[in-house]
Structure 1
Amino acid sequence: MVGQIIGGIKANSLAIQTDVLHLLSDIVSYAISLFSLWVSSLKATPQYTYGFYRMEILGALASVLLTWIVTGSEVQGWIMVLISSLDFLLNLILVFLLGHGANFNIQAAYVHAFGDSILSIGVLVGGIIIWVKPKLKIVDLICTLVFSVFVLRTTLPLIREIYRVLMQAAPDGVDASVLAHDLCEMEEVLSVHEVHIWCITAGKVLVSCHVTVKEDANSYTVKDKVIQHIKQEYKIDTKDITVQTELSKDATVHD
Structure 2
Amino acid sequence: MNSTLTMSKQELVSIAQRRLDKEVGTSTWSTRQKLALACRVLYDGGHDAGLAGQITCRADEPGSFYTQQLGLGFDEISSSNLIHVDQDLQVLSGKGIPNPANRFHTWVYRERPDVNCIIHTHPAHIAALSMLEVPLEISHMDTTPLYGDCAFLKTWPGVPVGNEEGEIIAGALGDKRAILLAHHGQLIAAKSIEEACVLALLIERAAKLQLLAMAAGTIQPIPPALATEAHDWISTDKRNAVTFAYYARRALRNHTDCLV
Instruction: Assess same fold via TM > 0.5.
Output: no
Higher relative contact order (CA 8 A, sep 6+): 2
TM-score norm. by structure 1 comes to: 0.22
Larger proportion of helix: 1
The structure having more radius of gyration, on CA atoms, is: 1
